[in-house]
């Protein structure tokens, strides 16, 4: 179930990320396309990391040391 869930969520997620980057590059002025694309990809992964660590901190704080059980 974990593998199937990762396939069902991961494949469309990567296609969505690719589509968003392409749309951003279409909208931006040609002079700013390289900067915008680089900042989008960098900000996406930084934001994903911050969201994951925030979720982990909240769950750890709420459940405490017994959360592994």
Domain ranges of the chain: 2-63
Say if residues 21 and 34 touch (Cβ distance below 8 Å). Answer: no
2 — pLDDT class (breaks 50, 70, 90): confident
- From CA 12, how far away is CA 69, in angstroms rounded? 32
Q: What share of the chain is helix, strand, coil (3-state, %, to 5)?
A: 95, 0, 5
Asked if the model's pLDDT at residue 34 lies above 80, the reply is yes
Supply the pLDDT for residue 66: 62
Residue position matching structure tokens 């991961």:
10
Q: What is the pTM of this model?
A: 0.58
Q: How far apart are CA 2 and CA 68, in angstroms?
A: 18
What is the 8-class DSSP label of residue 29?
-
């Amino acid at each position: 179930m974990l593998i199937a869930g990762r396939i069902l969520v991961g494949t469309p997620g990567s296609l969505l990320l690719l589509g968003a980057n392409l749309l951003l590059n279409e909208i931006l002025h040609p002079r700013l396309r390289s900067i915008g694309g680089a900042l989008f990809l960098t900000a996406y992964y930084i934001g994903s990391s911050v969201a994951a660590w925030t979720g982990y901190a909240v769950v750890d704080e709420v459940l405490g040391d017994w959360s592994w059980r």
